[in-house]
Structure 1
Amino acid sequence: MSGSTVTPWVIGNWKMNPVQADAQQLIQEFKELLQNNDISEQACRIGVAPVSIALMNVKAAFENAASPVHTVAQDVSRIAGTGAYTGEVSAELLKDSQIQLVLVGHSERREIFADSPQILCEKVKNALNAGLTVVYCIGESLEQRDAGQAEQVVLQQICDIAPVVEAEQWKQIIVAYEPIWAIGTGKTASPEDAQSMHAAIREGLKQLTPYGQQMAILYGGSVKPENAVELAACPDINGALVGGASLNAGSFYKIAQAFAETE
């Protein structure tokens, strides 16, 4: 049984882009596309993850869009609440600012900023306890894939956070599978390979929680309009975490449209 009845999510991860003027133009162009042909939230949920200093401006800019566009934080502090933690933004402060979703565990955070499983557990726990939805990113390196360890690595990354997720909180988690070797490289897992991994992730989630069948599992890694339709047709791929293509309004819209139109 697949996860094909799950409402898809398409989330644009803007990473450390763009400058304000370009962001305003990007938002305006995307809103115009939605105005001309809106995408219902029942068909596909849409989100964008800007840099932290732009969260509130982006949220405000999308409030009058023809279709809901959720604002997603790119990261969250391992520290809860408030206090003397210069440079940090806690889950509670995100919630207070009406930011409802947050990325945790992106490979760039794991690799460049040394987010260990322990740190990720603290971030996930704080975010869930504050009532946020966590977009939890997992994925293997090319070396791990070539060594035949891809499934083992990815499933272990899910198991890493299981001790801090309470039974009902699995409903607040979206999983994003991003093979590290496909992020920003132009390489993409074939639809067959992606579906195979997503099916394995689905089975792993079902072992951990009764909600595993209903959880959205997104694919990330050089997603673009040219491959979105094929990926959207895979039964266990419930959307996309989009990098570079989300910085082009037309490309991002076409990706969302591909998932919205999948039966």
Structure 2
Amino acid sequence: MSGSTITPWVVGNWKMNPIKADALQLVENFKHLLQTNPIDENKCHLGIAPISIALPMVQANFSSANRAIYTVAQDVSKVAGTGAYTGELSAELLVDSQIHYVLIGHSERREFFADDAAALKKKIGNALNAGMTVIYCVGESLEQREACQAETVVLQQICDIASVVESEQWEKIVIAYEPIWAIGTGKTASPEDAQAMHAKIREGLTQITAKGANIAILYGGSVKPENAVELAACPDINGALVGGASLNAESFYQIAQAFANTK
């Protein structure tokens, strides 16, 4: 079971959405909800991962919120620094723009953009060396789950990065478990199944690092207000990585409130 000192995270992954005007309205709506009924920073970390061209805009607009809301990059280059790498965005350039959080390893990146273990290790190493906090995504396909390979697959994904994370850098790692079959499908792992996998991840982390008991493990995969309270009640679920529901300010707020009030 996780340590009681873990503050939950609720992070919205906007993916390739929305257009600029809608993004600005979404930010304003969310700030208004937090102003009307604040969520204590000590009870829940909040983050939003917009498209890369919106990172500075979203960060600037959240600066007037009544609490910290972290701006999170959706990905980072496997190339460090600067140079002749058209289309890439390095960890150093993100940090130079005051972006200190990044998603790495999302299943959509793995499936559609060839983010294999070698690429992910480079990305994570670059991000950590630049001082960023990494939200590392893991998860199994439906075929793997039905073949009783889910735990093996997920634990291997965590082991894949162990060689590039220095002992002191585990404090900069957050794990997000997202069963691939539940992402954007409306299907959600039952709280019991999600908790069982989170407990297994916790066990694996404690075998890799002395900090394993205190690493936040988030659940993702069709998280919505209707299931947030039940998920938040699970002892090893330390927050949520929210997809579609984060594009609605009220829904995202309710999910954050569920974790802040339950943990």
Which residue is 1:165 aligned to? Answer: 165
User: Letter of the aligned partner of 1:166 in structure 2?
Assistant: E
Q: Which whole-Å CA distance do the structure 2 matches of 1:3 and 1:200 have between them?
A: 15
> Is 1:147 paired with 2:151?
no
Contact 2:95 2:132 in 1 (8 A): yes
Partner secondary structure for residue 46 of structure 2: strand
Partner secondary structure for residue 10 of structure 2: strand
Which residue is 1:26 aligned to? Answer: 26
Paired-residue identity, %:
73
Q: Which whole-Å CA distance do the structure 2 matches of 1:131 and 1:142 have between them?
A: 35
Contact 1:3 1:237 in 2 (8 A): no
Deviations 1:160-193 (A, max 9, x none): 0011111101110000000000000000000000
Contact 2:16 2:51 in 1 (8 A): yes
Q: Which whole-Å CA distance do the structure 1 matches of 2:85 and 2:2 have between them?
A: 44
Which residue is 2:51 aligned to? Answer: 51
Residues 5-154 of structure 1: pairs in structure 2 closer than 5 A: 5-154=5-154
Contact 2:8 2:239 in 1 (8 A): yes
Deviations 1:29-65 (A, max 9, x none): 0000000011111000000000000000000000010
Contact 2:177 2:219 in 1 (8 A): yes
Aligned residues: 263
Which residue is 1:215 aligned to? Answer: 215
User: Letter of the aligned partner of 2:20 in structure 1?
Assistant: Q
Deviations 1:79-101 (A, max 9, x none): 00000101000000011111010
Contact 1:72 1:101 in 2 (8 A): yes
Partner secondary structure for residue 163 of structure 2: helix
Partner secondary structure for residue 241 of structure 1: strand
User: Letter of the aligned partner of 2:213 in structure 1?
Assistant: Q
Contact 2:2 2:214 in 1 (8 A): no
Q: Quote how far apart the aligned CAs of 1:3 are.
A: 3.7
Q: Which whole-Å CA distance do the structure 2 matches of 1:106 and 1:248 have between them?
A: 21
Partner secondary structure for residue 237 of structure 1: coil
Which residue is 2:245 aligned to? Answer: 245
Deviations 1:115-140 (A, max 9, x none): 01000000000000000000000000
Partner secondary structure for residue 174 of structure 2: strand
Scaled by the length of structure 2, the TM-score of the pair is 0.99
Partner secondary structure for residue 229 of structure 1: helix
Q: Quote how far apart the aligned CAs of 1:5 are.
A: 3.1
User: Letter of the aligned partner of 1:92 in structure 2?
Assistant: E
Residues 170-249 of structure 1: pairs in structure 2 closer than 5 A: 170-249=170-249
Partner secondary structure for residue 241 of structure 2: strand
Moved over 4 A (4+): none
Unaligned runs of 5+ in 2: none
Q: Which whole-Å CA distance do the structure 2 matches of 1:36 and 1:200 have between them?
A: 38
Partner secondary structure for residue 7 of structure 1: coil
Q: Which whole-Å CA distance do the structure 2 matches of 1:43 and 1:151 have between them?
A: 30
Q: Give the direction of change, closer, same or farther, for the CA distance of 1:184–1:219 in structure 2 (3 Å limit).
A: same
User: Letter of the aligned partner of 2:72 in structure 1?
Assistant: V
Scaled by the length of structure 1, the TM-score of the pair is 0.99
Q: Which whole-Å CA distance do the structure 2 matches of 1:107 and 1:144 have between them?
A: 14
Partner secondary structure for residue 11 of structure 2: strand
Q: Which whole-Å CA distance do the structure 2 matches of 1:260 and 1:3 have between them?
A: 16
User: Letter of the aligned partner of 1:248 in structure 2?
Assistant: N
Contact 1:17 1:51 in 2 (8 A): yes
Unaligned runs of 5+ in 1: none
Partner secondary structure for residue 211 of structure 2: helix
Q: Which whole-Å CA distance do the structure 2 matches of 1:3 and 1:146 have between them?
A: 31
